[in-house]
Each structure stands twice: as C-alpha cells, then as structure tokens.
Amino acid sequence: MSLTDLRDELTARLGRDGLVTDPAHLRTYECDALTGYRVVPALVALPRDAAEVAAAVAACAKHRVPFVARGAGTGLSGGALPVADGVVISLQRLRRVVEVDPVDRRATVEPGVTNLDISRAAAKYGLYYSPDPSSQQVCTIGGNVAENSGGAHCLKYGFTVNHILAVDVVLPDGTATRLGGDAPHQAGFDLLGAFVGTEGTLGIVTSVVVRLLHTPATVRTLVANFDSTKEAGDAVTAVIAAGIVPAAIEMMDNLAIQAVNAAVDAGFDPDTAAALIVELDGPADEVEARFADLTRLCAKATGVTIARDAEHRAKIWQGRKAAFAAVGRLSPNYFVQDGVVPRTRLGEALTRIAEMGDEAGIQVANVFHAGDGNLHPLVLYSEERGEHERAEALSTAIAELCVELGGSLSGEHGIGTDKACSMPRMFSADDLDTMRRLRAAFDPEGLCNPGKVFPTPRLCGERPGPYRPHPLEAAGVIERL
C-alpha cells in the first residue's frame, strides 16, 4: 500500500480540485453526525460522476487502500467514519436529478441528491418519494440506500428498501454493475434487497432509481396528550390492535416537548407528560371512518388537538422533526439511541429506560416512532462535567435492553461504528460469519468501509461481550443449536 502513489494516481485522474490533501480541510471529514468518533482520513476524493467514482475505487483497490463513501455526513452511527490512512470518497458532486418519469412513477437520481429534493422534483406531477427521515432536507439518497433509512411515515409505506427499484454500484474492485431493474421482479437473487442497508460495506452507489407515489387524497393529523408515556404507549398498542395502519404514530415525552417548544412554535402542550402525533392518510371516507375510531381509542387522552389545515400540520411535523436538534438546547451533549422493541413492550421499555437513567443520574428524553416500536432515547450529558463515559454506558445499555425485550439494536440509524461491539448481543458468531460471507462475495479484500457493522477486536477489545441467551431463546421461541 502506497498512499503517495495513490495520491499521484488520483490527482492524475480527478485533477487537483478533485482531491483534498490539505490537513485542515481533511479534518472537516473526520466524523459524521456521530461526533464522538473522529478519524482524519489520508485523502478525500471528490469525483464528479460515476466514471470518476469507479476510477477512485479502482485506484484504491490497486493500492490496497481502504475507502469510505460519504454523502452529507448526517449518519448517526459513525457509518461514514473515515479510516486512518484511508480515502474518503465524497458523493457530494453527484447531485443531478437525471430523470423524473411521471408515467412510470419513478425518478433516477445521483447519490448526492437530498431526500427532499426528490420529492420537490416530483411535486409538479403530484408524486413524491415516500421515506422521510427527519434529516431529509440534507441527507442524501445514497446515504439512505446505505442505511436503509426510515422515517415517520414508514409505518404505512415502508422503508428505503421498499422504494428502490435499481442502483448502479461501483463494486470494491472498481467494476460497475447494476442491481435491480425496471420492476420489482428480478431474474436472480434479490441482490438489490441484500445490498440496501449494508452501510456502505459492499460498494458505492452512483445512481438510484426510486419509486414515486401519488400524494394521498386526504391527510388528517392529531396530537393527543397523555398523563404518562405508559398511557400513550397503551394507546399506540390499542390503535394497532384495532387494525388501523396509520401513516405515522410518533411519541414525544415532556422533556422532548420542552426542547421542541423552545426551538419551534409547534404548539405542543408544555405541561403534558407525553404527546402522540397520529396521522392517517388515504381516500377521504376511509380516513374519516378510521379517524373516528382513532379519537375513540385516545379516550384516555387529556387533550386532543386536530390539525386545522396543511400549514398547521406542517408546523407539527416541523416540531417533531426538529426534536434531535432542539435537544441541544437542553443539554450541551447527547447520545441518540435507535433501538426497536415489539410494539406491545413499549410501555415496559420506557419504564426501564427511565429507571436506568435515574440510576445513572442522567436525563433521558424520548422522541420516537411509536407505531413501529423504534425508540430514540436521547441521553443528555455534559462533557465538561465528565459524564461522557457514564452516558455512553447508559446509551449502550439502552440499545442492549431493546434486544433483551425481543427487539433490535437499530431501527434506522445503522450499526456503523457506534453499535458494532453490541452485535454479539443480538447475533451469534455463526450469524455474523454468515453475513460476512455476503460481504466477502462483494469485497473479498475488505477495503470497502472496513470496521463498520461487524465487531472487531481492534474496536471492541480482544474478547467480544460474553454470550447471553437471547430472550426469545430463553422463552423457547428460538433455538441455539
């Protein structure tokens, strides 16, 4: 491996303005939105098109230098953390909307296009791109593909993987291929489905074909206040059990509401213990009938506000989507967790998290996708007061609690660097080895975003965490052979 040779080769191929080599400038790439992990890369490549991405990857492969793809750097799990002595390949210059096809209801875009810009480009046809991560104004579709991003409205409409028809990929040896096709039917294995959500470890996407949906005929949104997060959680369970599939059900606890109210005038009741945002969409009469059921199921609510119009609804969502950033007003530092629990165990999970926070002497705010059990506990701490380690331990314990309750370490933020060491809590060595077989098929040299997703001795210490039986195993639901 020779970085000097690689730099010369990349300069020749991408030009001087296609490469970042200045140490101060390189530092701006040292982390993504998980800022606790920082590594300055040796070089940053700024390709302009798919051919330049392929050339950059081929050069890295030739010199056996690891590389990490990067979109907007909004990832919350350290998935775009650079590798020391490695290259970051930024997709920020690939930001063309290549085609919006209203007849076949799809758009072809480059990976650096933001999530929201796809919907903006489709809006004149009454179409939109459905998955809506809270960072959708800035996060890129390439990053969404890497992380299989979710969002508030994925409960009814599904996640990124359900909305991608095809991707052009530069494989880790520099060759280009296409996964997927013109329709969901693929001749062969579902390599597209297997690829989406692999956190940039199998290749770099240079073009994405997304499905577009017609905007719904009617949307109705309510905010219901509850005396406790448990009562709000019970209401979520009741709504789901009644056979209603809302477009979204979100929950915020009092701490999160306080933060949001300080940042955005969204009109949330500052005194309520918990608030649910529930949205139904679809044909008008369907929505009206279900909305009546919904208000009945929120009988224990201490107050219900129904969005008056589109503007009011937008305000509510602006408040919800600003929650992570707003929490910065409550606390100088915080960790965001992303664990998932079965929907029927929401109340239990919230109670346990509150207890764990009390024990650690650390505040935890909750704002999350209640409908699919995807928690986002915000662990609030102060670096200055030396709380970092305690907060990090609490944050990890919360993620592992979700596994213990029969859920998952991550619903949408990814494993990345952040949760790689917790993977043995959820998966056996055989599970992880089998996943590594897929990785090896795509990237036998292990150059593409190494050190992410899978626990490594370097990251996690020589010994992985002790094996503990999965709760479903303890309950006899699954067997460990």
Partner 1 sequence: MRPVSLAELRDAVRDTDGTLLVMGAGTAEGWAGAPDPTDHVLETTGLTGVIAYNPADMTVAVRAGTPLTTLQQELADAGQRICLDPARTEATIGGLVATADSGPLRHAYGGPRDLLIGVTVVLADGTVARSGGHVIKNVAGYDLGKLLCGSFGTLGVIAEVVLRAHPLPPASRTVSILCDAAEAVTHTGLVLEARLEPAALEWCDGELLALYEGVESSVERRATATPGGTTLSVADAEAAWRRVTAVSDRDLVVRCGTRPSQLAVVAKHATSMTSSAAVGVHTLGVTDVDGLRAEFPQVTVLRSPPGIQAWGEPHAAVPLMRAVKQRFDPDGRLGPGRYRPWF
Applying the rule CB under 8 A, the residues between 21 and 80 that interact with partner 1 are none
Helix ranges (DSSP H) in 298-427: 310-321, 323-327, 346-360, 388-404, 423-426
Minimal distance, residue 197 CB to partner 1, in Å = 5
Residue number, 7 or 413, with CB nearest to partner 1: 413
Nearer Cβ to partner 1, position 268 or 335?
335
Residue 198 or 331 with smaller CB distance to partner 1: 198
Position 354, amino acid: A
> Is residue 451 a contact residue for partner 1 (CB under 8 A)?
no
Contact 74, 106 (CB under 8 A): no
Please list every residue from 383 through 422 that binds partner 1, using CB under 8 A. Answer: 406-415, 419
Determine, following the binding rule CB under 8 A, whether residue 341 of this chain makes contact with partner 1: yes
Structural tokens at position 447? 């150059």
Q: Which is nearer to partner 1, 186 or 318 (CB)?
A: 186
Alpha-carbon gap, residue 166 to 180, rounded angstroms: 4
Span of 5-13, 136-144, 357-365, 439-447 interacting with partner 1 by CB under 8 A: 439-447
Told to check if 243 binds partner 1 by CB under 8 A, we report: yes
**Is there binding between residue 2 and partner 1 (CB under 8 A)?**
no
Q: What would the two tokens of residue 444 be?
A: 């036998």
Q: Is residue 93 within 8 Å of residue 192, measured between CB atoms?
A: no
> Which member of 29, 67, 128, 159 binds partner 1 (CB under 8 A)?
159
Comparing CA positions, the residue from 36, 15, 19, 145 lying closest to residue 81 is: 36
Among 60, 161, 294, 365, contact with partner 1 (rule: CB under 8 A)? 161
Out of 104, 355, 359, 445, the only residue in the binding site for partner 1 (CB under 8 A) is 104
Separation CA 154–CA 27 (nearest Å): 35
Q: Which of 182, 358, 359, 383 binds partner 1 (CB under 8 A)?
A: 182
In single-letter form, the type of residue at position 451 comes to G
The 3 state secondary structure assigned to 406-474 is CCECCCCCCCCCCCHHHHHHHCCHHHHHHHHHHHHHHCCCCCECCCCCCCCHHHHCCCCCCCCCCHHHH
User: DSSP H helical segments within 254-335, as ranges?
Assistant: 254-263, 284-297, 310-321, 323-327
Q: With contact defined as beta carbons under 8 Å apart, do 335 and 379 qualify? A: yes
Of residues 194 through 223, those in contact with partner 1 by CB under 8 A are 194, 196-198, 214-217
Tokens of 434: 């089998």
Which residue in 170, 204, 244, 252 binds partner 1 (CB under 8 A)? Answer: 244
Q: Identify which range of 38-46, 255-263, 284-292, 350-358 contacts partner 1 by CB under 8 A.
A: 284-292
Buried-exposed string 204-231: b where 16+ CB fall within 10 A, e elsewhere: bbbbbbbbbeeebeeebbbbbbbebbbb
Tell me how far, at minimum, the Cβ of 365 lies from partner 1, in Å: 20
Pairing of β 248-253 and β 303-306: unpaired
Amino acid letter, 145: V
Any contact of residue 310 with partner 1 (CB under 8 A)? no
Taking CB under 8 A as the criterion, the residue among 191, 232, 294, 323 binding partner 1 is 191
Residue 445 binds partner 1, judged by CB under 8 A: no
Contact between 313 and partner 1 by CB under 8 A: the answer reads no
Selected range binding partner 1 among 49-57, 314-322, 380-388, 423-431, rule: CB under 8 A: 423-431
- Name the one range near partner 1 by CB under 8 A: 31-39, 45-53, 271-279, 286-294: 286-294
The count of residues interacting with partner 1 (CB under 8 A) is 90
Stretch that binds partner 1, among 91-99, 143-151, 295-303, 383-391 (CB under 8 A): 143-151
Q: How far is the CB of 163 from partner 1 (least distance, A)?
A: 10
Q: Which two tokens stand for residue 223?
A: 């905010």
Using the rule CB under 8 A, give the single segment among 64-72, 100-108, 224-232, 306-314 that binds partner 1.
100-108
